[in-house]
């Protein structure tokens, strides 16, 4: 099975186009990298993540073998990943949008998918150590990095006119546009999340009409999860949520909430949280009340 990994480069030039036909280090095999896997070369500047390039591994060579295979002198390392012909990108580094960085998940043998670490008290800057090793990505996270790559190596523009300036795509959260736009966003999010969960081996059944406090009943072997889905047309993971859904998040250990931002664009971003994570990381503010006539005093 193909796997996906990041490899950290400390030194890279934002203005220079780099061909990632080779990367070197000392822990590829120990981390599980094998020929046929993909490596995403990444770096950070002042806590901001950059995608330097991507390659498919043809061979993991020693220093002597790497010198024979490469047209330049490779830097000294125990292991050299050599790119399969035609798979190395040639491009300038791409700044990874913060929403995409927050959505990235790495594979942990003990804890399942884990997020990258940010600086204490600053969710816009990565912790300096979080990428400084070979890390395995979930397939979905690899796809989100693939979405940033274009065939001609041009990075995502700092101001994407096709999304940010569109009058039909609000930049805030969900539930604040027209009823039709909200319905489209929700339906598209359900479709994307169902496809994603199915790819992970879950059997997915919609229970949207049953008022359970979640949208999808998912089962895989003996495991069960209750998934609430939120589709957001804009860029911020902000959305209306019912009292029943909040109660589920607080009391149901099988509960997960999946949020798809930019859901109606060509580059949707999918994030998910357990009920506990949702309760810890999201602030709830009242936006609607139920008004009832006061009963006359007896």
Q: What percent of the chain has pLDDT over 70?
A: 90
pLDDT, one tens digit per residue, over 205-230 is 999 888 888 999 999 999 999 999 99
What confidence tens digit (pLDDT) does each residue in 139-189 have? 989 988 988 875 334 333 323 333 333 334 334 455 555 667 778 889 999
Looking at the structure, do residues 25 and 80 belong to the same domain, yes or no? Answer: yes
Is 194 in the same domain as 85?
Answer: no
Per-residue pLDDT, averaged over 125-147, amounts to 90
Q: Say yes or no: 86 and 199 in one domain.
A: no
pLDDT of 52 over the 90 cut: yes
In the predicted structure, residue 72 carries a pLDDT above the cut 80 = yes
167-179 confidence digits (pLDDT tens) = 343 344 555 556 6
Structural domain includes residue 63:
yes
Residues 172 and 118 in one domain: no
Percent of the chain with pLDDT over 90: 55
pLDDT at 168: 40
125 and 222 housed in the same domain? no
Question: Helix (H) and strand (E) counts for the chain?
Answer: 7, 18
Residues 36 and 170 in one domain: no
Residues 56, 142 within the same domain: yes
- Does 173 share its domain with 114? no
Report the domain count for the chain. 2
Q: Do 11 and 118 share a domain, yes or no?
A: yes
Residue 204 placed within a domain: yes
Q: What is the pLDDT of residue 37?
A: 96
| Domain limits for position 137 | 4-146
pLDDT at residue 60, rounded to an integer? 97
- Between 97 and 161, where is the model more confident? 97
The CATH number assigned to the domain holding 200 equals: 3.40.1350.10
- Whether 294 is covered by a domain: the verdict is no
Domain match, 140 and 250 both? no
216 and 138 in one domain? Answer: no
Is 153 inside a domain boundary?
A: no
């Amino acid at each position: 099975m193909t796997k996906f990994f990041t490899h950290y480069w400390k030194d890279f030039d934002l203005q220079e186009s780099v061909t990632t036909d080779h990367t070197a280090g000392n822990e590829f095999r120990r981390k599980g990298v094998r020929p046929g896997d993909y490596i995403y070369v990444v770096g950070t500047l002042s806590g901001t993540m950059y995608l330097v390039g991507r390659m498919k591994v043809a061979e993991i060579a020693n220093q002597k073998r790497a010198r024979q295979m490469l047209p330049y002198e490779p830097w000294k390392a125990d292991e050299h990943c050599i790119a399969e012909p035609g798979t190395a990108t040639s491009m300038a580094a791409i700044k990874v949008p913060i929403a995409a960085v927050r959505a990235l998940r790495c594979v942990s043998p003990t804890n399942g998918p884990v997020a990258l670490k940010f600086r204490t008290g600053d969710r816009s800057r990565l912790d300096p150590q979080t990428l400084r090793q070979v890390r395995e990505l979930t397939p979905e996270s690899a796809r989100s990095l693939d979405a940033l790559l274009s065939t001609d190596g041009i990075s995502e523009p700092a101001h994407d006119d096709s999304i940010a300036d569109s009058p039909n795509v609000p930049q805030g959260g969900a539930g604040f546009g027209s009823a039709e736009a909200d319905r489209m966003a929700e339906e598209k999010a359900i479709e994307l999340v169902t496809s994603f969960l199915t790819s992970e081996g879950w059997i997915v059944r919609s229970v949207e009409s049953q008022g359970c406090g979640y949208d999808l009943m998912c089962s895989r072997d003996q495991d069960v999860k209750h998934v609430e889905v939120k589709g957001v047309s804009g860029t911020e993971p902000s959305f209306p949520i019912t009292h029943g859904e909040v109660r589920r998040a607080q009391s149901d250990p099988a509960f997960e909430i999946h949020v798809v931002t930019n859901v109606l664009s060509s580059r949707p971003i999918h994030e998910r949280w357990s009920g506990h994570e949702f309760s810890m990381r999201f602030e709830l503010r009242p936006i609607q009340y139920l008004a009832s006539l006061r009963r006359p005093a007896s």
